[in-house]
Amino acid sequence: MPPPFQRRRGSDSKALGGPNIIMIDRVYKLHPSAYYGGDQLILDRVRFGPAGFPIDSPKERAFEYLRKIGLSGMEYQAVRRVPTNEKELKKLGEEAKENDILLTLHAPYAINLSAETEEKIKGSINRLLSAAKAAKAMGALHVTFHPGYYLKRSRNDALRVAISALRELREIMTSEGIDVELGPETMGKPSQLGSLDDVLEMAKSVEGVSPTIDFAHLHVRDGGIIKGEDDYRSILRRIEREIGDLNGLVVHFTEVEATSSGYGERMHHELGSGYGPDFHPLAKIIAENGLKWFIVSESPILERDSVKMKEIYESFLRGS
């Protein structure tokens, strides 16, 4: 294991706020170009990839195909069932690594860390633990999950219960040597635990937790709030103010249609659909600030829009 080292948060990017010097006392190499440093992911560059296996390739050649079209990541979808065959998971991880494809994993949808009964909370902890074990086996560096629902709880009470469950889970993971990052996702429906403030509070409260920022969900949760660059900057300043360095974020992106009320997610759409949010202003910010993110396409056309996002980002790098 590499020795402890000092990392200046924001030192390798044009930070939107001030730098903060921290010590990372655990560094886990998960990939030739990525580390999990106990409090954040450390990536070599911006990495783009689809949410799930690509639609234009046989599954057995997926990683080779992603590499050939210029992508460098994939979110493994374990949203219905978590795979448990460790030998197969390790083989999948090795194939991804051989093609320089960095992996994250999406845990089952059937998780509610703020459920009304202890039994349901325990079940959610166990499902998330299984997802973390699978992630470790395949070398995935981050486990995205939906935190749950408020139900009859107040927002503060739901958050308190979820944070307690996350602490319990992290203790189990630490005792079993499962060193992957947990990523509560920003959610698209107002009834769901998963506002930006919710996931930032989880990240501040529990070691080894860093939010998965889903910009489509943020957009429709509050009635189509992302109109342009200023709105993206406002969101990013909030994230930076609460958890520090913007580098190493796992991000979901797609254009999205809201429900008839204008609040909440109805359907994902491909880039250029006109529904928004627009990726161009965000790509401009990423390029101008030298940010290194793992960007997952949740568009219906998956890797095709991953390639399009990468091209948009690279156009801003070139200044064109």
Whether 1 maps to a domain, the answer reads no
Q: How far is CA 272 from the centre of its chain?
A: 23
* Distances 19 to 5, 14, 158, 247 between C-alpha atoms, Å: 16, 10, 32, 12
β-pairing, 250-253 vs 294-297, is parallel
Name the maximum alpha-carbon separation found in the chain: 55
pLDDT, one tens digit per residue, over 6-50 is 223 333 445 564 333 222 333 344 455 565 555 567 899 999 999
* Distances 14 to 20, 45, 310, 315 between C-alpha atoms, Å: 13, 14, 20, 19
DSSP 8-state code for residue 254: -
Whether 22 maps to a domain, the answer reads no
Split into its structural domains, the chain has a count of 1
Domain extent at residue 213? 42-318
Find out whether 108 and 116 touch, Cβ atoms under 8 Å.
no
What pTM did the predictor assign?
A: 0.90
Backbone angles phi, psi at 309, to 5 degrees: -60, -45
Whether 29 maps to a domain, the answer reads no
Give the CATH number, domain containing residue 179.
3.20.20.150
Whether 25 maps to a domain, the answer reads no
What is the DSSP annotation of 79-110?
Answer: SS-----HHHHHHHHHHHHHTT-EEEEEPPS-
- Residue 17 exposure: Cα atoms within 13 Å on the Cβ side: 17
Whether 36 maps to a domain, the answer reads no
Whether 7 maps to a domain, the answer reads no
Whether 33 maps to a domain, the answer reads no
pLDDT, one tens digit per residue, over 209-221 is 999 999 999 999 9
pLDDT, one tens digit per residue, over 163-199 is 999 999 999 999 999 999 999 999 999 999 999 999 9
